[in-house]
Amino acid sequence: MNTRSGAEVLAEGVSKRFGRIVALREASLRVGPGEAVVITGRSGSGKSTLLALLGGLDRPDSGRVLIDGQSTWSERHPARLRRELIGFVFQRHLLLQTLSAQANVEVPLLGAGRPRGERRERARELLGEVGLADRAEHVPAQLSGGERQRVAIARALANQPRLLLADEPTGALDSATSERILELLFGLRDRLGMTMILVSYDAAIGPRADRTVTIADGVLRDESLPAVGTAAGEAR
C-alpha cells in the first residue's frame, strides 16, 4: 500500500457551545506530522466535539483549526479537505446496511470520483489489509462487531488520508476484539506514516500513543502547550 506523510494539525483557542452547554472552551492543540495522540476524558467532557472540529465536521464558534495550514471551515469546500486529507472511524461503525463490505469501502472513492475499476481494486486491497478479504461480499448484518469496525477502518483509509481521526473506535467492542482493533490501527499508523488522533475514555490506551492529552469539562490539557481556559460546563 502507498504511504503518504502525516498531516500537521493545529487547533487554536477553539470553543464550541450547543445552546447553553459549553462543550469546548478555547481548546488549543498541536499534533505533529505522523504523531499518534490519544485524547482521553470522561463521558461528556467534550473530546468527541473536539475531534469533530478537528475533522471539519462542524464549525467552531471561535478559534480555528488548521490542517497542514488549511483552515477546515474557511475553505470553500470542507468536504474536499475531508476527502483528500482525513479518514474517520467512529464508535458506531456507520456502515451502509444494504451495501456489501466491498461497496462500503468504495463509498469514499465514489465521492472522490474514482473510476469503477480503481474503486474495486482499492477496496479489495484495503479489505485484505484489515484481514477481511474473504468477507468482501458480506453485508454488515453478516459480520461480527469487530469485523464491521475493520470494514469501517478500511473505509477510512480508502482515500489514503494523511490524518486518521478515531472516536472511541473500541467503545462498542469486547476487550479481546478491542485489543485486535487497536493493534490494527496503531500498526497501520506505523506502516503508513499518517497522523492519528484517537479519542477514548479508556486511559489505558495512552501508552500505545506518542502522547496523551486529557480533556475535562471542555478544557483541554496539552502538556506540550501552555494550558488555556479555566472553566467549562453549563453556562451560568
Partner 1 sequence: MLAIILTNLRRRLTRTLLTAAGIAVGVATIVALLSFTQGLSESAAGFVHLGGAELGVFQANVSEPATSLLPESTVGRLRALPQVADATPLLLIVEGVKRDPAAVVFGAEPDGFFSRQLVIVAGRRPNEVSEATHAAAHQALIGDRLAAQLKLGPGGVLAVKGRAYTVVGVYHSGILFEDAGAILGLRDAQALTQRAGEATDVIVSLSPGAHTDATAKAIERALPGTQTITNAQQAVRAGANGTLISKAILAIVAIAIIVGVIGVANTMAMAIAERRAELGLLSTVGWSPVRVAGLILGEGVAVSVLGAAGGLLLGVIGGDLLVRALGVSSYVSPSVTAWGLGRGLLVGVAIGVLGGIYPAWRVTRMTPLKALSGT
Binding footprint of partner 1 on the chain (CB under 8 A): 52, 55, 57-59, 77, 79-80, 82-84, 88, 90, 94, 96-99, 103, 107-108, 110-112, 155-156, 158-159
Which residue has 486511559 as its cell numbers?
203
Please count the other Cβ atoms lying within 10 Å of the Cβ belonging to residue 129.
19
> Nearest-CA neighbor of 156 among 102, 67, 83, 205?
83
Q: How far is the CB of 226 from partner 1 (least distance, A)?
A: 28
Residue 155 or 189: which CB sits closer to partner 1?
Answer: 155
CA–CA separation, 153 and 177 (whole Å): 14
Q: How far is the CB of 40 from partner 1 (least distance, A)?
A: 21
Residue 6 or 108: which CB sits closer to partner 1?
Answer: 108
Residue 88 or 212: which CB sits closer to partner 1?
Answer: 88
Q: How far is the CB of 149 from partner 1 (least distance, A)?
A: 14
Residue 85 or 212: which CB sits closer to partner 1?
Answer: 85
The conformation of residue 200, written as its DSSP 8-state character, comes to E
Helices (H) and strands (E) in the chain, counts: 6, 11
Give, in order, the Cα–Cα distances in Å from 89 to each of 12, 25, 224.
Answer: 24, 24, 26
Q: How far is the CB of 174 from partner 1 (least distance, A)?
A: 24
Please count the other Cβ atoms lying within 10 Å of the Cβ belonging to residue 218.
26
